[in-house]
Amino acid sequence: MTSSRTVLVSCAAAVLTPVVLVSAAAAAPAPPQTSPGCVTRAEFRAAKVGLEQAQVRRTFGTSGRFGDGGAGGYSRSYARCDDSGCRVLVEFSTLEDDRVPRVANKRYRGLC
């Protein structure tokens, strides 16, 4: 025979479990939203100086086009999502200590 205490504990667990799962899901950070093939203003703002090129590619959702380069740095341009025909310009530079290309400068109104 089942005691009333066992039934009460089982009911309480069934009621509280969904609340705990919902709370844990709400606390997880949302994945970055990317727009394939072009860059939004929000994506542009997320690409901070010092970010690696691979991180910029993931943030923008595109690898862009090689612009120009030399002496340890280069630029890439990315289409904007606003139908202006303009392109975002991001300049990458490698530091002596790690040789990883990182954002050195960026311009939303880079190429129009």
What are the tens digits of pLDDT across the range 25-68?
444 344 455 577 899 999 999 999 999 999 999 999 999 999 99
Which percentage of the chain shows pLDDT scores above 70? 68
CATH of the domain at 52: 3.30.1450.10
Domain assignment present for residue 31? The answer is no
Question: Within 28-108, where are the H helices?
Answer: 41-46, 53-60
Confidence at 103, pLDDT banded by 50, 70, 90: very high
Domain assignment present for residue 95? The answer is yes
Q: Total domain count for the chain?
A: 1
Domain assignment present for residue 106? The answer is yes
Confidence at 83, pLDDT banded by 50, 70, 90: confident
Average per-residue pLDDT in the chain? 78
What is the reported pLDDT for 2?
53
Domain assignment present for residue 60? The answer is yes
Domain assignment present for residue 79? The answer is yes
Domain assignment present for residue 104? The answer is yes
For Cα atoms 62, 66, 72, give the angle at the middle one, nearest 5 degrees.
Answer: 115
- Give the domain extent around 64: 41-111
Q: What is the rounded distance in angstroms from the CA atom of residue 97 to the CA atom of residue 18?
A: 49
Domain assignment present for residue 54? The answer is yes
Q: What is the rounded distance in angstroms from the CA atom of residue 89 to the CA atom of residue 111?
A: 7
Domain assignment present for residue 59? The answer is yes
What pTM does this model have?
A: 0.67
